Amino acid sequence: MATSSTATASLHLLLPTSRRRRLLVPRATHSDCTVDRRRFIARTTAAVAPLVLPPVVLWTPAARADDAPALSQWERVYLPIDPGVVLLDIAFVPDDPSHGFLLGTRQTILETKDGGNTWFPRSIPSAEDEDFNYRFNSVSFKGKEGWIIGKPAILLHTSDAGESWERIPLSAQLPGNMVYIKATGEQSAEMVTDEGAIYVTSNRGYNWKAAVQETVSATLNRTVSSGISGASYYTGTFNTVNRSPDGRYVAVSSRGNFYLTWEPGQPFWQPHNRAVARRIQNMGWRADGGLWLLVRGGGLFLSKGTGITEDFEEVQVQSRGFGILDVGYRSQDEAWAAGGSGVLLKTTNGGKSWVRDKAADNIAANLYSVKFLDDSKGFVLGNDGVLLRYLG
């Protein structure tokens, strides 16, 4: 009977008072207790069953296109330089891919020995002058042969993969500022100024031979009646210049109202009307040999076919209203575009469509240059010492 009393007392905690009265029973025999237990279990189960809660279903909002996760194919590399430095160029030694150099404004030369993971300042005594604050514009290597150029006019050369550098004297008659240099072989290089002069050397830079017969200003003065829109407003300098792997050049005029091209063997630069309404920001070469063209305000155009042409078509991009400043091709299909306020875009179909990588959205800097040194090594250079490294 103790068992029956305990069970009845426990049930009082589960059932309301109206149901408790029906379960209170008089003293009974052993067989009656057995029946009561069965009834107790049945009734208890019926009473408790409604207390079981249904499964909890959590509501989640539908994903939006602009909520796509960051591609996370880049990481920022922090540098031991002042925040105001603008990074301008990067190159690695072909014989030692872990060894490279990074250039910028305010006499910035950095060196890495681990493929670009970490960088340290590199002191070159011949490039340190108290009277000048050099802007190092371009660096290039071929084998162990390397070159660095800057503004005011300075030319550095190495033949031992950058372990030592010597300063090469330059003529005061050099037209314009040196903006680009390309190492082409042993003791050989090709150099371009912002006035369109192209020079080549084969003796470590002690003598240079002109590859074009006149500057761009002279060419435009001679062909001003040829129908090139904006040629009469030309200020005499390039805004940007880019070289293809086979030695062709495309350059944008300082005002962005037309562009020019040059191919090896041509005596002059060839001016071209822009095929778009907005002024040109930058131009360069696709991996398939065609051209890409950026306009001010964020527009991106691709040339139809390959080679030099004036026929372009626009590609839709999501630049968030910021200008796109450069494009770099990793392969014929994959390329990256970078621009103002951390804009970073990717294409995997040669440029026909682009998606935004949010990896740099929180970086308060303009991204000026995209450099792919091979299909696994790439960098994005920006202002305020911002350097992004490609992770793949």
Domain ranges of the chain: 274-391
Asked whether the predicted pLDDT for residue 52 surpasses 50, the reply is: no
Beta bridge partners of 260: 251, 271
DSSP-based three-state secondary structure for 43: helix
Q: What pLDDT score does 7 carry?
A: 37
- Residue matched to tokens 């080549």: 200
Q: How confident is the model at residue 219 (pLDDT cuts 50, 70, 90)?
A: confident
pLDDT given for residue 233 in this prediction: 55
Could you give the CA distance from residue 298 to residue 324 in angstroms, rounded to a whole number? Answer: 5
pLDDT over 80 (residue 127): yes
Which tokens is 109 given? Answer: 């030369």
177-197 per-position pLDDT tens digit: 999 999 999 999 999 999 999
What integer best gives the mean pLDDT of the chain?
83
User: CB under 8 Å to 309, separation ≥6 — which residues?
Assistant: 291, 303
Which long-range contacts (C-beta less than 8 Å, at least 24 apart) are formed by 288-297? 288/332, 288/350, 289/244, 291/250, 292/327, 292/351, 293/259, 294/323, 294/324, 294/325, 294/326, 294/327, 295/256, 296/256, 296/323, 297/323
Give the residue among 132, 98, 131, 103 at the shortest CA–CA distance from 117: 98
pLDDT at residue 226, rounded to an integer: 56
* Model pLDDT, residue 234: 61
What's the CA gap between 126 and 323, in Å, rounded? Answer: 38
The CA-based angle 125-128-129, given to 5 degrees, is: 130
**Which token pair is 265?**
């063997």
0.75 surpassed by pTM: yes
Query: Residue 52: what are its φ and ψ, rounded to 5°?
Result: -70, 125
pLDDT for the residue 16: 41
pLDDT of residue 173: 87
CATH topology of domain 274-391: Methylamine Dehydrogenase; Chain H (2.130.10)
Question: How is the beta sheet containing 87-93 ordered, strand by strand?
Answer: 87-93, 96-104, 108-112, 120-121
Q: Which two tokens stand for residue 116?
A: 């670009």
